[in-house]
Chain A
Amino acid sequence: MSGVDNGVNVQALLDAREVLKGAPEAAQFVWRATSKWEKGVHSTTTIQKYFGLGQEQSHKTRAEFSADHPEVFAAEDNGITPIEYLLVGLASCLTAGVASVAQNRGIQLRSVSSTVEGSHDIRGILGADSDVRNGFNDIKVTFNIDADASKEDIQALVAQSQKRSAVFDALTNPTDVTVEVA
Protein backbone atom coordinates (compact mmCIF):
# COMPACT_ATOMS: atom_id res chain seq x y z
CA MET A 1 0.00 0.00 0.00
CA SER A 2 3.05 2.22 0.40
CA GLY A 3 3.45 4.84 -2.29
CA VAL A 4 -0.22 4.81 -3.27
CA ASP A 5 -1.41 8.40 -3.31
CA ASN A 6 -4.81 9.40 -4.61
CA GLY A 7 -4.72 12.57 -2.53
CA VAL A 8 -7.25 11.32 0.02
CA ASN A 9 -6.33 11.49 3.70
CA VAL A 10 -7.88 8.15 4.55
CA GLN A 11 -6.22 8.02 7.95
CA ALA A 12 -8.05 11.17 9.00
CA LEU A 13 -11.36 9.61 7.87
CA LEU A 14 -10.67 6.37 9.72
CA ASP A 15 -9.72 8.35 12.83
CA ALA A 16 -12.91 10.41 12.56
CA ARG A 17 -14.93 7.21 12.27
CA GLU A 18 -13.47 5.93 15.53
CA VAL A 19 -13.98 9.23 17.36
CA LEU A 20 -17.56 9.71 16.14
CA LYS A 21 -18.54 6.17 17.12
CA GLY A 22 -18.36 7.39 20.68
CA ALA A 23 -19.70 10.90 20.00
CA PRO A 24 -22.78 10.62 17.79
CA GLU A 25 -23.87 14.19 18.59
CA ALA A 26 -20.72 15.60 16.96
CA ALA A 27 -21.58 13.66 13.82
CA GLN A 28 -24.78 15.66 13.29
CA PHE A 29 -24.24 18.01 10.35
CA VAL A 30 -26.64 20.48 8.74
CA TRP A 31 -25.82 21.56 5.20
CA ARG A 32 -27.37 24.84 4.12
CA ALA A 33 -28.09 26.70 0.92
CA THR A 34 -29.80 30.05 0.43
CA SER A 35 -31.52 30.85 -2.78
CA LYS A 36 -32.73 34.04 -4.41
CA TRP A 37 -35.04 34.53 -7.34
CA GLU A 38 -33.52 36.61 -10.13
CA LYS A 39 -36.03 36.79 -12.96
CA GLY A 40 -38.11 34.33 -14.86
CA VAL A 41 -37.01 30.82 -13.83
CA HIS A 42 -33.48 32.02 -13.12
CA SER A 43 -32.29 31.85 -9.51
CA THR A 44 -28.98 32.10 -7.67
CA THR A 45 -28.16 29.76 -4.81
CA THR A 46 -25.36 30.53 -2.41
CA ILE A 47 -23.53 28.13 -0.14
CA GLN A 48 -20.94 28.95 2.47
CA LYS A 49 -21.86 28.04 6.04
CA TYR A 50 -22.81 24.72 7.52
CA PHE A 51 -23.05 23.16 10.95
CA GLY A 52 -20.98 20.20 12.09
CA LEU A 53 -18.72 18.81 14.82
CA GLY A 54 -20.85 20.71 17.30
CA GLN A 55 -20.38 24.20 15.88
CA GLU A 56 -20.87 26.56 12.95
CA GLN A 57 -18.42 25.92 10.13
CA SER A 58 -17.62 27.75 6.93
CA HIS A 59 -16.27 26.82 3.53
CA LYS A 60 -13.11 28.72 2.56
CA THR A 61 -15.06 30.61 -0.05
CA ARG A 62 -18.66 31.34 -0.84
CA ALA A 63 -19.96 29.39 -3.83
CA GLU A 64 -22.71 30.61 -6.11
CA PHE A 65 -24.79 28.49 -8.45
CA SER A 66 -27.06 29.79 -11.14
CA ALA A 67 -30.00 27.73 -12.19
CA ASP A 68 -32.27 28.45 -15.11
CA HIS A 69 -34.01 26.59 -17.84
CA PRO A 70 -32.64 26.13 -21.36
CA GLU A 71 -33.83 28.02 -24.41
CA VAL A 72 -35.87 25.02 -25.56
CA PHE A 73 -37.98 25.72 -22.47
CA ALA A 74 -38.35 29.30 -23.66
CA ALA A 75 -36.00 30.54 -20.93
CA GLU A 76 -32.67 32.40 -21.01
CA ASP A 77 -30.33 29.57 -20.00
CA ASN A 78 -28.40 31.56 -17.39
CA GLY A 79 -27.36 28.34 -15.72
CA ILE A 80 -27.99 24.63 -15.65
CA THR A 81 -31.40 23.15 -14.94
CA PRO A 82 -32.10 22.38 -11.27
CA ILE A 83 -32.46 18.66 -11.94
CA GLU A 84 -29.00 18.69 -13.55
CA TYR A 85 -27.58 19.73 -10.17
CA LEU A 86 -28.60 16.28 -8.96
CA LEU A 87 -26.31 14.81 -11.62
CA VAL A 88 -23.50 17.06 -10.40
CA GLY A 89 -24.08 15.81 -6.86
CA LEU A 90 -24.25 12.16 -7.82
CA ALA A 91 -21.20 12.16 -10.10
CA SER A 92 -19.02 14.08 -7.65
CA CYS A 93 -20.12 11.98 -4.68
CA LEU A 94 -19.46 8.65 -6.41
CA THR A 95 -16.12 9.91 -7.74
CA ALA A 96 -15.06 11.02 -4.26
CA GLY A 97 -16.06 7.59 -3.02
CA VAL A 98 -14.02 5.81 -5.68
CA ALA A 99 -10.92 7.83 -4.73
CA SER A 100 -11.40 7.26 -1.00
CA VAL A 101 -12.07 3.54 -1.28
CA ALA A 102 -9.13 3.14 -3.68
CA GLN A 103 -6.83 4.90 -1.22
CA ASN A 104 -8.08 2.75 1.63
CA ARG A 105 -7.55 -0.41 -0.43
CA GLY A 106 -4.10 0.62 -1.65
CA ILE A 107 -5.13 1.03 -5.29
CA GLN A 108 -3.37 3.75 -7.29
CA LEU A 109 -5.75 5.57 -9.62
CA ARG A 110 -4.46 7.05 -12.86
CA SER A 111 -7.73 8.43 -14.19
CA VAL A 112 -11.39 8.31 -13.24
CA SER A 113 -14.11 9.70 -15.44
CA SER A 114 -17.80 9.12 -15.53
CA THR A 115 -20.87 9.94 -17.52
CA VAL A 116 -24.18 10.37 -15.76
CA GLU A 117 -27.43 10.27 -17.70
CA GLY A 118 -30.81 10.91 -16.14
CA SER A 119 -33.87 9.98 -18.19
CA HIS A 120 -36.59 12.53 -17.71
CA ASP A 121 -40.08 12.59 -19.20
CA ILE A 122 -40.98 16.28 -19.00
CA ARG A 123 -44.67 15.60 -19.51
CA GLY A 124 -44.69 15.17 -15.72
CA ILE A 125 -43.57 18.70 -14.82
CA LEU A 126 -45.69 20.17 -17.60
CA GLY A 127 -48.76 18.46 -16.21
CA ALA A 128 -49.38 16.90 -19.61
CA ASP A 129 -49.87 13.41 -18.23
CA SER A 130 -50.64 12.79 -14.57
CA ASP A 131 -49.29 9.24 -14.80
CA VAL A 132 -45.78 10.54 -15.52
CA ARG A 133 -43.61 11.42 -12.55
CA ASN A 134 -41.89 14.78 -12.22
CA GLY A 135 -38.43 13.48 -11.45
CA PHE A 136 -36.02 11.18 -13.22
CA ASN A 137 -37.35 7.84 -14.45
CA ASP A 138 -33.89 6.37 -14.04
CA ILE A 139 -30.26 7.38 -13.85
CA LYS A 140 -27.34 5.61 -15.45
CA VAL A 141 -23.74 6.20 -14.41
CA THR A 142 -20.85 4.85 -16.48
CA PHE A 143 -17.36 4.93 -15.01
CA ASN A 144 -14.09 4.71 -16.91
CA ILE A 145 -11.31 3.95 -14.49
CA ASP A 146 -7.62 3.44 -15.18
CA ALA A 147 -5.92 2.02 -12.10
CA ASP A 148 -3.41 -0.52 -10.85
CA ALA A 149 -6.10 -3.10 -10.17
CA SER A 150 -8.00 -5.97 -11.74
CA LYS A 151 -11.36 -5.42 -13.40
CA GLU A 152 -12.99 -7.17 -10.46
CA ASP A 153 -11.26 -4.90 -7.93
CA ILE A 154 -12.38 -1.85 -9.91
CA GLN A 155 -15.96 -3.13 -9.92
CA ALA A 156 -15.68 -3.58 -6.18
CA LEU A 157 -14.45 0.03 -5.81
CA VAL A 158 -17.45 1.35 -7.67
CA ALA A 159 -19.84 -0.89 -5.71
CA GLN A 160 -18.38 0.18 -2.37
CA SER A 161 -18.51 3.81 -3.45
CA GLN A 162 -22.26 3.49 -4.03
CA LYS A 163 -22.68 1.74 -0.72
CA ARG A 164 -21.18 4.70 1.14
CA SER A 165 -22.52 7.52 -1.03
CA ALA A 166 -24.71 10.21 0.53
CA VAL A 167 -26.14 11.31 -2.80
CA PHE A 168 -26.73 7.77 -4.08
CA ASP A 169 -28.69 7.13 -0.89
CA ALA A 170 -30.58 10.42 -1.15
CA LEU A 171 -31.62 9.62 -4.73
CA THR A 172 -32.47 5.95 -4.28
CA ASN A 173 -34.35 6.22 -0.99
CA PRO A 174 -37.22 8.48 0.00
CA THR A 175 -36.41 11.46 2.21
CA ASP A 176 -38.86 13.41 4.32
CA VAL A 177 -38.98 16.94 2.92
CA THR A 178 -40.74 19.86 4.61
CA VAL A 179 -41.30 23.11 2.73
CA GLU A 180 -42.66 26.06 4.70
CA VAL A 181 -43.34 29.72 4.21
CA ALA A 182 -41.54 31.75 6.89
Chain B
Amino acid sequence: MLERGEIANSWRHERWDSLRLLTPNWLNRLPGHSYQGPDPDGYLTMGEVVEFIEHFAVASAAPVRTGTNVESLRRDGDGYLVSTSRGDLRCRAVVLASGACNVPTVPAISAGVPTSVAQLTPFDYRGPDHVAEGGVLVVGASATGVQLAAELQRAGRQVILAAGEHVRMPRVYRGRDVLWWMDASGVWDQRYDEVDDLTRARRLPSPQLVGTPERSTLDLNALTGLGVELVGRLAAVRDGSALFSGGLRNVCSLADLKMRRLLAGFDEWARTTGRDAEVGPPEEFAPTTVAASTRLRLDLRGGDVGTIVWATGFRPDYRWLDVPVVDEKGRLRHEGGVLDSPGLYALGLPLLRRRRSTFISGVEDDARAVVDHLAKHLPASAG
Protein backbone atom coordinates (compact mmCIF):
# COMPACT_ATOMS: atom_id res chain seq x y z
CA MET B 1 0.00 0.00 0.00
CA LEU B 2 1.50 3.23 -1.15
CA GLU B 3 0.62 6.43 0.73
CA ARG B 4 1.98 9.77 -0.48
CA GLY B 5 2.02 11.23 3.05
CA GLU B 6 1.04 9.80 6.43
CA ILE B 7 -1.69 7.27 7.15
CA ALA B 8 -5.07 9.05 6.78
CA ASN B 9 -3.28 11.86 5.01
CA SER B 10 -6.25 13.65 3.47
CA TRP B 11 -8.14 13.50 6.78
CA ARG B 12 -5.16 15.16 8.44
CA HIS B 13 -4.36 17.82 5.89
CA GLU B 14 -7.28 18.43 3.55
CA ARG B 15 -10.19 19.02 5.93
CA TRP B 16 -11.34 22.07 7.89
CA ASP B 17 -10.96 22.13 11.66
CA SER B 18 -14.59 21.70 12.72
CA LEU B 19 -15.47 18.89 10.31
CA ARG B 20 -16.90 15.69 11.69
CA LEU B 21 -17.83 12.58 9.74
CA LEU B 22 -21.30 12.55 8.23
CA THR B 23 -21.82 8.93 9.29
CA PRO B 24 -22.66 8.05 12.90
CA ASN B 25 -20.00 6.08 14.77
CA TRP B 26 -21.83 2.74 14.79
CA LEU B 27 -21.93 2.86 10.98
CA ASN B 28 -18.14 3.19 10.56
CA ARG B 29 -17.53 -0.51 10.08
CA LEU B 30 -14.33 -1.81 8.58
CA PRO B 31 -13.56 -5.54 8.35
CA GLY B 32 -13.01 -6.71 11.94
CA HIS B 33 -12.86 -3.14 13.15
CA SER B 34 -15.75 -1.07 14.43
CA TYR B 35 -16.42 1.77 16.86
CA GLN B 36 -16.19 0.62 20.48
CA GLY B 37 -16.52 3.97 22.28
CA PRO B 38 -19.26 5.38 24.49
CA ASP B 39 -21.15 7.36 21.83
CA PRO B 40 -22.33 5.11 18.99
CA ASP B 41 -24.73 7.80 17.71
CA GLY B 42 -22.06 10.54 17.61
CA TYR B 43 -19.82 11.64 14.76
CA LEU B 44 -16.03 11.43 14.78
CA THR B 45 -13.94 14.59 14.68
CA MET B 46 -11.09 14.66 12.20
CA GLY B 47 -8.57 13.76 14.91
CA GLU B 48 -10.71 10.77 15.85
CA VAL B 49 -11.02 9.68 12.21
CA VAL B 50 -7.24 9.72 11.91
CA GLU B 51 -6.98 7.57 15.06
CA PHE B 52 -9.64 5.19 13.78
CA ILE B 53 -7.79 4.65 10.51
CA GLU B 54 -4.39 4.40 12.26
CA HIS B 55 -5.82 1.71 14.53
CA PHE B 56 -7.17 -0.18 11.55
CA ALA B 57 -3.78 0.00 9.83
CA VAL B 58 -2.22 -1.63 12.90
CA ALA B 59 -5.05 -4.14 13.48
CA SER B 60 -5.05 -5.27 9.86
CA ALA B 61 -1.23 -5.24 9.68
CA ALA B 62 -1.53 -3.38 6.40
CA PRO B 63 1.87 -3.07 4.71
CA VAL B 64 1.69 0.70 4.28
CA ARG B 65 4.66 2.51 2.77
CA THR B 66 4.15 6.12 3.85
CA GLY B 67 5.85 9.09 2.23
CA THR B 68 5.72 7.31 -1.11
CA ASN B 69 4.19 9.41 -3.84
CA VAL B 70 3.15 7.67 -7.05
CA GLU B 71 4.48 9.74 -9.92
CA SER B 72 3.36 7.53 -12.77
CA LEU B 73 1.67 4.25 -13.48
CA ARG B 74 1.98 2.61 -16.87
CA ARG B 75 1.59 -0.77 -18.51
CA ASP B 76 4.72 -2.86 -18.65
CA GLY B 77 4.47 -6.23 -20.35
CA ASP B 78 1.62 -8.13 -18.71
CA GLY B 79 1.77 -5.96 -15.61
CA TYR B 80 2.43 -2.40 -14.51
CA LEU B 81 5.36 -0.19 -13.71
CA VAL B 82 4.77 2.15 -10.79
CA SER B 83 7.23 5.02 -10.50
CA THR B 84 7.28 6.52 -7.03
CA SER B 85 9.23 9.15 -5.16
CA ARG B 86 11.07 6.20 -3.59
CA GLY B 87 11.85 4.21 -6.70
CA ASP B 88 10.10 1.95 -9.19
CA LEU B 89 7.91 -1.07 -8.53
CA ARG B 90 6.74 -3.74 -10.93
CA CYS B 91 3.45 -5.48 -10.25
CA ARG B 92 0.88 -7.67 -11.94
CA ALA B 93 -2.18 -5.87 -10.57
CA VAL B 94 -2.91 -2.42 -9.16
CA VAL B 95 -5.88 -1.12 -7.16
CA LEU B 96 -6.39 2.63 -7.45
CA ALA B 97 -7.72 3.84 -4.11
CA SER B 98 -6.73 7.47 -4.42
CA GLY B 99 -10.27 8.72 -3.96
CA ALA B 100 -12.66 11.04 -5.75
CA CYS B 101 -11.80 14.25 -3.94
CA ASN B 102 -8.16 15.01 -4.80
CA VAL B 103 -8.71 18.52 -6.13
CA PRO B 104 -11.41 21.08 -5.36
CA THR B 105 -13.37 21.99 -8.49
CA VAL B 106 -13.44 25.71 -9.13
CA PRO B 107 -15.52 26.96 -12.07
CA ALA B 108 -13.83 28.94 -14.83
CA ILE B 109 -15.94 32.02 -14.02
CA SER B 110 -13.74 32.48 -10.93
CA ALA B 111 -11.22 34.15 -13.28
CA GLY B 112 -13.52 37.17 -13.47
CA VAL B 113 -13.62 37.78 -9.71
CA PRO B 114 -12.02 41.12 -8.80
CA THR B 115 -8.63 40.79 -7.08
CA SER B 116 -9.99 42.65 -4.04
CA VAL B 117 -12.03 39.54 -3.17
CA ALA B 118 -10.17 36.58 -1.64
CA GLN B 119 -11.01 33.16 -3.05
CA LEU B 120 -10.83 29.96 -0.99
CA THR B 121 -11.47 26.31 -1.68
CA PRO B 122 -12.39 23.81 1.07
CA PHE B 123 -8.72 22.72 1.00
CA ASP B 124 -7.65 26.27 1.95
CA TYR B 125 -10.35 26.80 4.56
CA ARG B 126 -9.56 25.95 8.18
CA GLY B 127 -12.05 28.07 10.12
CA PRO B 128 -13.65 31.52 10.26
CA ASP B 129 -10.63 33.11 11.97
CA HIS B 130 -8.53 32.58 8.86
CA VAL B 131 -11.03 34.22 6.52
CA ALA B 132 -10.49 37.85 5.52
CA GLU B 133 -12.76 40.48 7.06
CA GLY B 134 -16.18 41.07 5.61
CA GLY B 135 -19.06 39.09 4.22
CA VAL B 136 -18.63 35.77 2.48
CA LEU B 137 -20.20 34.36 -0.65
CA VAL B 138 -20.33 30.58 -0.36
CA VAL B 139 -20.90 28.93 -3.74
CA GLY B 140 -22.47 25.49 -3.55
CA ALA B 141 -25.00 23.91 -1.20
CA SER B 142 -23.78 20.37 -0.71
CA ALA B 143 -22.54 19.18 2.70
CA THR B 144 -19.42 21.33 2.41
CA GLY B 145 -21.24 24.49 1.36
CA VAL B 146 -23.95 24.35 4.02
CA GLN B 147 -21.44 23.53 6.78
CA LEU B 148 -19.09 26.37 5.91
CA ALA B 149 -21.99 28.80 5.43
CA ALA B 150 -23.36 27.94 8.88
CA GLU B 151 -19.98 28.18 10.57
CA LEU B 152 -19.14 31.54 9.01
CA GLN B 153 -22.57 33.01 9.73
CA ARG B 154 -22.36 31.88 13.37
CA ALA B 155 -18.96 33.56 13.56
CA GLY B 156 -20.65 36.86 12.76
CA ARG B 157 -20.00 37.05 9.03
CA GLN B 158 -22.85 37.89 6.69
CA VAL B 159 -23.02 34.88 4.41
CA ILE B 160 -24.69 34.69 1.02
CA LEU B 161 -25.14 31.11 -0.16
CA ALA B 162 -25.53 30.40 -3.87
CA ALA B 163 -27.49 27.17 -4.26
CA GLY B 164 -28.00 25.14 -7.41
CA GLU B 165 -29.41 21.62 -7.38
CA HIS B 166 -28.90 20.08 -3.96
CA VAL B 167 -29.84 17.08 -1.85
CA ARG B 168 -31.93 17.89 1.21
CA MET B 169 -32.16 15.49 4.16
CA PRO B 170 -33.13 15.73 7.81
CA ARG B 171 -30.37 14.55 10.15
CA VAL B 172 -32.81 12.45 12.15
CA TYR B 173 -36.05 10.92 10.83
CA ARG B 174 -38.57 9.20 13.09
CA GLY B 175 -35.96 9.13 15.84
CA ARG B 176 -33.24 7.47 13.76
CA ASP B 177 -30.26 8.92 11.92
CA VAL B 178 -31.19 9.36 8.27
CA LEU B 179 -28.18 7.20 7.40
CA TRP B 180 -29.59 4.43 9.62
CA TRP B 181 -32.54 4.44 7.22
CA MET B 182 -30.24 4.41 4.19
CA ASP B 183 -28.40 1.45 5.67
CA ALA B 184 -31.30 -0.55 7.10
CA SER B 185 -33.81 -0.05 4.28
CA GLY B 186 -31.33 -1.17 1.66
CA VAL B 187 -31.05 2.13 -0.25
CA TRP B 188 -27.30 2.07 0.30
CA ASP B 189 -27.11 -1.49 -1.00
CA GLN B 190 -28.56 -0.53 -4.36
CA ARG B 191 -26.05 -1.75 -6.93
CA TYR B 192 -24.50 0.27 -9.74
CA ASP B 193 -26.17 -1.98 -12.32
CA GLU B 194 -29.61 -1.39 -10.75
CA VAL B 195 -29.51 2.42 -10.83
CA ASP B 196 -31.57 4.17 -13.54
CA ASP B 197 -29.11 6.85 -14.54
CA LEU B 198 -25.71 5.82 -13.26
CA THR B 199 -23.84 8.86 -14.59
CA ARG B 200 -26.19 11.20 -12.76
CA ALA B 201 -26.19 9.08 -9.59
CA ARG B 202 -22.40 9.10 -9.51
CA ARG B 203 -22.35 12.88 -9.82
CA LEU B 204 -24.95 13.55 -7.13
CA PRO B 205 -23.81 16.27 -4.71
CA SER B 206 -23.28 15.16 -1.11
CA PRO B 207 -26.42 15.51 1.03
CA GLN B 208 -26.93 18.58 3.22
CA LEU B 209 -25.79 16.87 6.40
CA VAL B 210 -23.53 17.78 9.28
CA GLY B 211 -22.30 15.65 12.17
CA THR B 212 -22.89 17.53 15.43
CA PRO B 213 -23.40 16.40 19.03
CA GLU B 214 -26.93 17.88 18.81
CA ARG B 215 -27.68 15.78 15.69
CA SER B 216 -29.21 18.88 14.15
CA THR B 217 -30.50 19.26 10.61
CA LEU B 218 -28.65 21.69 8.35
CA ASP B 219 -30.94 22.30 5.39
CA LEU B 220 -31.54 25.63 3.67
CA ASN B 221 -34.33 26.51 6.13
CA ALA B 222 -31.88 26.07 9.00
CA LEU B 223 -29.42 28.37 7.24
CA THR B 224 -32.12 30.99 6.65
CA GLY B 225 -32.88 30.74 10.37
CA LEU B 226 -29.25 31.57 11.13
CA GLY B 227 -29.44 34.65 8.92
CA VAL B 228 -27.77 33.30 5.76
CA GLU B 229 -29.08 34.91 2.57
CA LEU B 230 -30.01 32.36 -0.11
CA VAL B 231 -29.49 33.15 -3.78
CA GLY B 232 -29.70 31.08 -6.95
CA ARG B 233 -26.88 29.22 -8.63
CA LEU B 234 -23.91 31.43 -9.48
CA ALA B 235 -24.28 31.75 -13.23
CA ALA B 236 -21.66 34.31 -14.23
CA VAL B 237 -19.26 36.98 -13.05
CA ARG B 238 -19.55 40.00 -15.29
CA ASP B 239 -18.10 43.49 -14.89
CA GLY B 240 -17.18 42.81 -11.29
CA SER B 241 -20.61 41.52 -10.35
CA ALA B 242 -21.75 38.02 -9.51
CA LEU B 243 -24.94 37.11 -11.38
CA PHE B 244 -27.22 34.49 -9.86
CA SER B 245 -29.89 32.33 -11.45
CA GLY B 246 -33.53 33.23 -10.95
CA GLY B 247 -34.30 29.53 -10.66
CA LEU B 248 -33.69 29.06 -6.91
CA ARG B 249 -37.35 28.30 -6.21
CA ASN B 250 -37.34 25.35 -8.58
CA VAL B 251 -34.14 23.74 -7.32
CA CYS B 252 -35.63 23.99 -3.82
CA SER B 253 -38.89 22.40 -5.03
CA LEU B 254 -36.94 19.59 -6.65
CA ALA B 255 -34.98 18.96 -3.45
CA ASP B 256 -38.15 19.05 -1.33
CA LEU B 257 -39.92 16.60 -3.65
CA LYS B 258 -36.95 14.23 -3.74
CA MET B 259 -36.59 14.32 0.04
CA ARG B 260 -40.30 13.54 0.51
CA ARG B 261 -40.00 10.66 -1.96
CA LEU B 262 -36.99 9.29 -0.08
CA LEU B 263 -38.76 9.52 3.28
CA ALA B 264 -41.94 8.00 1.87
CA GLY B 265 -39.80 5.09 0.69
CA PHE B 266 -38.47 4.69 4.24
CA ASP B 267 -42.04 4.73 5.61
CA GLU B 268 -43.08 2.10 3.11
CA TRP B 269 -40.10 -0.06 4.02
CA ALA B 270 -40.81 0.26 7.76
CA ARG B 271 -44.48 -0.63 7.24
CA THR B 272 -43.94 -3.62 4.99
CA THR B 273 -41.09 -5.08 7.04
CA GLY B 274 -42.86 -4.66 10.38
CA ARG B 275 -40.33 -2.15 11.72
CA ASP B 276 -42.86 0.65 12.48
CA ALA B 277 -42.84 -0.11 16.21
CA GLU B 278 -39.11 0.46 16.65
CA VAL B 279 -39.10 3.94 15.14
CA GLY B 280 -41.07 7.12 15.89
CA PRO B 281 -44.15 8.27 13.97
CA PRO B 282 -43.76 9.59 10.40
CA GLU B 283 -42.68 13.23 10.26
CA GLU B 284 -43.28 16.03 7.80
CA PHE B 285 -40.87 18.83 7.04
CA ALA B 286 -41.83 22.32 5.91
CA PRO B 287 -41.01 23.12 2.28
CA THR B 288 -37.87 25.18 1.76
CA THR B 289 -38.70 28.86 2.25
CA VAL B 290 -37.51 31.06 -0.58
CA ALA B 291 -37.80 34.84 -0.28
CA ALA B 292 -40.38 36.49 -2.55
CA SER B 293 -37.54 38.11 -4.41
CA THR B 294 -33.99 36.76 -4.35
CA ARG B 295 -30.92 38.76 -5.25
CA LEU B 296 -29.86 38.28 -8.86
CA ARG B 297 -26.73 40.44 -8.76
CA LEU B 298 -24.00 41.10 -6.21
CA ASP B 299 -21.45 43.86 -6.75
CA LEU B 300 -18.17 42.18 -5.78
CA ARG B 301 -16.42 45.55 -5.77
CA GLY B 302 -18.96 47.06 -3.38
CA GLY B 303 -17.26 45.73 -0.23
CA ASP B 304 -20.18 43.58 1.01
CA VAL B 305 -18.21 40.45 0.29
CA GLY B 306 -14.52 40.02 1.16
CA THR B 307 -14.23 36.32 0.33
CA ILE B 308 -15.71 33.74 -2.01
CA VAL B 309 -15.61 30.12 -0.84
CA TRP B 310 -15.88 27.68 -3.75
CA ALA B 311 -17.78 24.72 -2.31
CA THR B 312 -18.34 23.51 -5.85
CA GLY B 313 -17.23 19.93 -5.47
CA PHE B 314 -14.08 17.93 -5.94
CA ARG B 315 -12.58 15.84 -8.67
CA PRO B 316 -10.05 13.05 -8.82
CA ASP B 317 -6.54 13.77 -10.12
CA TYR B 318 -5.22 11.12 -12.52
CA ARG B 319 -2.40 13.11 -14.10
CA TRP B 320 0.00 10.38 -12.91
CA LEU B 321 -2.00 7.61 -14.57
CA ASP B 322 -0.47 6.79 -17.97
CA VAL B 323 -3.08 4.15 -18.85
CA PRO B 324 -5.97 5.18 -21.14
CA VAL B 325 -8.80 4.51 -18.70
CA VAL B 326 -9.89 8.09 -18.02
CA ASP B 327 -12.86 9.61 -19.87
CA GLU B 328 -13.06 13.09 -21.43
CA LYS B 329 -14.39 14.49 -18.15
CA GLY B 330 -11.45 13.17 -16.16
CA ARG B 331 -13.28 10.27 -14.52
CA LEU B 332 -12.25 6.62 -14.51
CA ARG B 333 -14.13 4.35 -16.87
CA HIS B 334 -14.85 1.21 -14.92
CA GLU B 335 -17.38 -1.57 -14.50
CA GLY B 336 -17.97 -1.94 -10.78
CA GLY B 337 -14.32 -1.15 -10.04
CA VAL B 338 -12.88 -3.24 -12.88
CA LEU B 339 -11.01 -1.08 -15.37
CA ASP B 340 -10.59 -1.75 -19.07
CA SER B 341 -6.93 -2.66 -18.60
CA PRO B 342 -6.21 -6.17 -17.30
CA GLY B 343 -5.16 -6.18 -13.66
CA LEU B 344 -6.19 -2.59 -12.98
CA TYR B 345 -8.92 -1.89 -10.41
CA ALA B 346 -10.48 0.98 -8.46
CA LEU B 347 -12.03 1.35 -5.03
CA GLY B 348 -13.62 4.20 -3.11
CA LEU B 349 -15.39 6.10 -5.88
CA PRO B 350 -19.01 7.34 -5.84
CA LEU B 351 -21.37 4.42 -6.41
CA LEU B 352 -18.44 2.25 -7.49
CA ARG B 353 -20.53 -0.87 -6.85
CA ARG B 354 -23.19 0.34 -4.39
CA ARG B 355 -24.62 3.57 -3.08
CA ARG B 356 -22.56 3.07 0.09
CA SER B 357 -19.28 2.81 -1.85
CA THR B 358 -17.86 6.17 -0.72
CA PHE B 359 -18.71 5.68 2.95
CA ILE B 360 -16.36 3.87 5.34
CA SER B 361 -18.75 0.94 5.64
CA GLY B 362 -18.92 0.68 1.86
CA VAL B 363 -15.42 -0.49 1.15
CA GLU B 364 -15.68 -4.01 2.59
CA ASP B 365 -18.12 -5.50 0.07
CA ASP B 366 -16.57 -3.55 -2.80
CA ALA B 367 -13.09 -4.74 -1.87
CA ARG B 368 -14.28 -8.36 -1.74
CA ALA B 369 -15.77 -8.13 -5.23
CA VAL B 370 -12.75 -6.36 -6.69
CA VAL B 371 -10.27 -8.69 -4.98
CA ASP B 372 -12.22 -11.74 -6.21
CA HIS B 373 -11.78 -10.50 -9.75
CA LEU B 374 -8.13 -9.63 -9.12
CA ALA B 375 -7.43 -13.06 -7.63
CA LYS B 376 -8.79 -14.71 -10.77
CA HIS B 377 -6.72 -12.41 -12.93
CA LEU B 378 -3.40 -13.24 -11.22
CA PRO B 379 -3.04 -16.89 -12.33
CA ALA B 380 -4.09 -15.90 -15.83
CA SER B 381 -1.33 -13.30 -15.97
CA ALA B 382 1.27 -15.48 -14.29
CA GLY B 383 4.25 -16.45 -16.38
Chain B interface main SS type = mixed
Chain B residue at minimal CB-CB distance from A171: B246
Once the chains are docked, how many angstroms separate the CA of A4 from the CA of B253? 26
Q: Is the CB of A174 within 8 A of B247?
A: no
Q: Is the CB of B247 within 8 A of A173?
A: yes
Q: Is the CB of B254 within 8 A of A174?
A: no
Q: Is the CB of A152 within 8 A of B260?
A: yes
Size category, A interface: 10 to 19
Q: Which residues of A contact B232 (CB under 8 A)?
A: 172
A143 sits at the interface (CB 8 A)? no
Interface stretch, picked from B74-82, B235-243, B300-308, B375-383, is: B235-243
| Known contacts A138-B293, A162-B247, A168-B247; is-contact A174 B235 (Cβ 8 Å) | yes
Q: Is the CB of B247 within 8 A of A172?
A: yes
| Known contacts A138-B293, A159-B250, A162-B250; is-contact A173 B257 (Cβ 8 Å) | no
Smallest distance from the beta carbon of A42 to chain B beta carbons, Å?
A: 31
Q: Is the CB of B247 within 8 A of A152?
A: no
Chain A interface main SS type = helix
A162-177 interface bits toward B, Cβ cutoff 8 Å, 1 = contact, 0 = none: 1100001101111000
B84 sits at the interface (CB 8 A)? no
B206 sits at the interface (CB 8 A)? no
Q: Is the CB of A156 within 8 A of B293?
A: no
Smallest distance from the beta carbon of A135 to chain B beta carbons, Å?
A: 11
**How many B residues, CB 8 Å from partner?**
16
Smallest distance from the beta carbon of B28 to chain A beta carbons, Å?
A: 34
Once the chains are docked, how many angstroms separate the CA of A173 from the CA of B238? 12
Chain A residue at minimal CB-CB distance from B251: A163
Q: Is the CB of B257 within 8 A of A172?
A: no
A155 sits at the interface (CB 8 A)? yes
Q: Which residues of A contact B247 (CB under 8 A)?
A: 162, 168-169, 172-173
Partner pick for A172 among B246, B260, B293, CB 8 A cutoff = B246
Q: Is the CB of B238 within 8 A of A163?
A: no
Partner pick for B254 among A159, A169, A173, CB 8 A cutoff = A159
Q: Is the CB of A173 within 8 A of B260?
A: no
Q: Is the CB of B257 within 8 A of A159?
A: yes
Q: Is the CB of A174 within 8 A of B243?
A: yes
Smallest distance from the beta carbon of B374 to chain A beta carbons, Å?
A: 30
A residues bordering B, Cβ < 8 Å? Answer: 138, 152, 155-156, 159-160, 162-163, 168-169, 171-174
Q: Could you give 25 example pairs across A and B, Cβ below 8 Å?
A: A138-B246, A138-B293, A152-B260, A155-B253, A155-B257, A156-B257, A159-B250, A159-B253, A159-B254, A160-B254, A162-B250, A163-B250, A163-B254, A168-B247, A168-B250, A169-B247, A171-B246, A172-B232, A172-B247, A173-B233, A173-B236, A173-B246, A173-B247, A174-B235, A174-B243
Given contacts A162-B250, A168-B247, A174-B243, 7 further A-B contacts (CB under 8 A): A138-B293, A163-B165, A168-B250, A172-B232, A173-B236, A173-B246, A173-B247
The 8 closest A-B pairs by CB, nearest first: A172-B246, A172-B247, A173-B235, A162-B250, A159-B253, A174-B236, A174-B243, A159-B254
